[in-house]
Amino acid sequence: MPPFSYRLPMNSRCASLLRLALFALCLSISAHAASVIWVAPDGRDDADGSQERPLATLKAAQVKLRALVAQGLKDEVTVRLRGGTYFLSETLELTPDDLGDGSFLITFQAHQGERVTLSGARVLPRAWQSVGDNLWVLGLPEARAGGWIFRSLFRSGASLPRAREPDSGYWTVAQVTDERRRIVLNERLPAAWSALGGVELNTIAHWHFNRQPVASIDAQSITAGRGIGTDVSSARITEKSHSRVWLENALAFADAPGEWFLDSAAGQLYYRAAAGENPNLHEFRAPVLRELIVVRGTADRQVRHVRFRDLEWAETDWEMPEGGRLGIQAGAWASDRSRTYSPGAVLRFIYAHDTVVERCRFRDLGDGAIAYEIGTARGLVSACDFERVGSNAVQVGRIPEYIGEGHPLHRDFTSMRERIDQVGKLPGSMEMWTLRTARPPEAPAQITIADSRFIDCGQVDYGSVAVCVSYAHHVVIEHNLFRKLPYSAISIGWRWAPGLTHCHSNLVRRNRIEEIMLQAGDGGGIYLVGEQPGTRVLENFIHDSGRNYWAHGIYPDECSDHMEIAGNYITGVLDRSIFMNKNGPNQQLRDNNGESGPTRVIGPIANGTRWVQFSPERSPPDLSLYGPRRSTP
């Protein structure tokens, strides 16, 4: 039988192309905008912002932009940055006062052919002193007594590893005792470590990744300051859960070239150099920010028509609360059952419509890159690169913090009761895709993530994913490359229980996903959860999933239903090609693995677990159809 080529129905294909065409039409801009604010590293903030007399900082450009808005915009405005690095000392917050009423497009972009970096770091002095055995120390008075605590360090544009033990690999768990606070290891630890303070315990089990303070260390066990893991999930760190353990943040651990340690009490930074290396010949940077730009509208006054183009976003830190950062699911973390957090991002949109992020690079970030939060609509991420991002690279439906009763994962933007009453009976997938019922403005909608590359993301939080969609609808994720990820590549849905939410009508199409599930378990290339009428997973290629355990290709988890999974190819996964855990009866699987017709589902139906195992596995006949529609290095 010849390979089957699945085709999107014409109306959905046209809808996808029309959406991109509308973005291009609405946001097209001439080569010379009517108003240009020039910024350059060698400019002056008391200049007029002309090409001959550029400003020096984005903050000064914001002041200039606000003045133009107050006078009344007559045309589009471009903030044009000349090549170089711009070090932000505080997060820049853009509001309608800075961006206008949306009648005219506001663009922040690099000058043609020049590399512009927005950095959340500070350059450190070249005053390293050798203390022997390739160990160097740098005095930082501003960091003394906890005045400046940073958890990332960059040398000549590359992220360096914090001091850790073991230097590579992990210790394994023999037993967990004392109310889940004490881990007994299968390996022995040096007796001298019992005197260490400020050490952080890192653990992986199932889909959870946890960081938390250490209370004590002895020859064969580590005791945490509180329960290991979280009490918001049934998963626990045990000797039977494929658990992995390591320690960070002690000078005694800085024994491999490139490792570093910050003594935040004494204000001293230690660096273990390679043999013959002099750190004073390199530029070191340490982060002062976790977020770079926040675009913030309100429910009554949204931001509209803003674009970021050809910018590099780099070198930020990650959040570590005093009580620890205890993973829940897909980068979300907590300290206890009453409070849940989502990882931050260097670029956040709140009540923002018609936004574009294109041809940008996001690298060496402590937490996330882009977050679409409450009240966002019609956003486009196009032709971007995400490299060495600490947590979820792109989040759609981010809720920064939730405090309340019950399971903290089950938080939607508004009740679905009105929508259920209007619809009456759920239509099929295609009808749901085109359905136009009243939608609350809070839930993010119509966000497109296309032609981008996600490589080496989740470097700080091994339980995070590249693209996370929680309570959002009409999100399109297509023609992207996902590679070298610790957990799942794409996660859609945020309710592990029956009932409709604002997560529905999403499209995942023609992505290339490979070398994933390298650290955590119980995930897959594309993970879905909850009832999602109108959600479609079409024509994706997933290859090489799993270095730990329970790694699948496509994974519709608990209560997933009313989805269409068609035209996908999956090869080289550790476990099932498609794993369906307690799914509803209305899942539509067809035309997968190059075969025409319904996809054969096997497994015991009695307990709600079913699966698909492609045999033989097939690769797509034309790999060029998958991944970004641009050149890949």
Half-sphere exposure of 460 (CA within 13 A, CB side): 31
Question: 38 near 58, Cβ under 8 Å?
Answer: no
The mean per-residue pLDDT over the stretch 470-481 comes to 95
* Of the candidates 577, 525, 515, the residue with the CA atom closest to the CA atom of residue 547: 515
Higher pLDDT, 5 or 57: 57
Mean pLDDT of all residues belonging to the chain: 88
* Cα–Cα distance measured from residue 149 to residue 164, given in angstroms and rounded to the nearest whole number: 17
Reported confidence tier of residue 231, pLDDT bands at 50, 70, 90: low
pLDDT(477) > 60? yes
**Segment 71-107, tens digit of pLDDT:** 999 999 999 999 999 999 999 999 999 999 999 999 9
**Segment 14-68, tens digit of pLDDT:** 455 445 554 554 544 444 447 999 999 999 999 999 999 999 999 999 999 999 9
Q: Which of 234-248, 267-281, 286-300 has the lowest mean pLDDT?
A: 234-248
pLDDT(378) > 60? yes
Higher pLDDT, 423 or 303: 303
* Of the candidates 270, 17, 25, the residue with the CA atom closest to the CA atom of residue 133: 270
For residue 239, which phi and psi values (nearest 5 degrees)?
Answer: -70, -10
Q: Which of 28-37, 148-157, 420-429 has the lowest mean pLDDT?
A: 420-429
> Structural domain boundaries of the chain?
10-16+391-398+414-625, 22-119, 122-287
Q: Tell which phi-psi region holds residue 305, choosing left (phi > 0), alpha (psi between -120 and 50) or beta.
A: left
Reported confidence tier of residue 342, pLDDT bands at 50, 70, 90: confident
Tokens 């589009």 -> residue: 76
The mean per-residue pLDDT over the stretch 404-426 comes to 50
Reported confidence tier of residue 423, pLDDT bands at 50, 70, 90: very low
CA-to-CA separations, 212 to 145, 215, 299, 568, in angstroms, rounded: 20, 10, 37, 40
The pLDDT value recorded for residue 429 is 42
pLDDT(431) > 80? no
Structure tokens at 606: 């009695």
Q: Which of 106-120, 413-427, 611-625 has the lowest mean pLDDT?
A: 413-427
pLDDT(3) > 50? no
* Cα–Cα distance measured from residue 91 to residue 5, given in angstroms and rounded to the nearest whole number: 47
CA-to-CA separations, 384 to 75, 345, 630, in angstroms, rounded: 27, 15, 11
**Segment 590-603, tens digit of pLDDT:** 999 999 999 999 98
The pLDDT value recorded for residue 608 is 77
Half-sphere exposure of 464 (CA within 13 A, CB side): 30
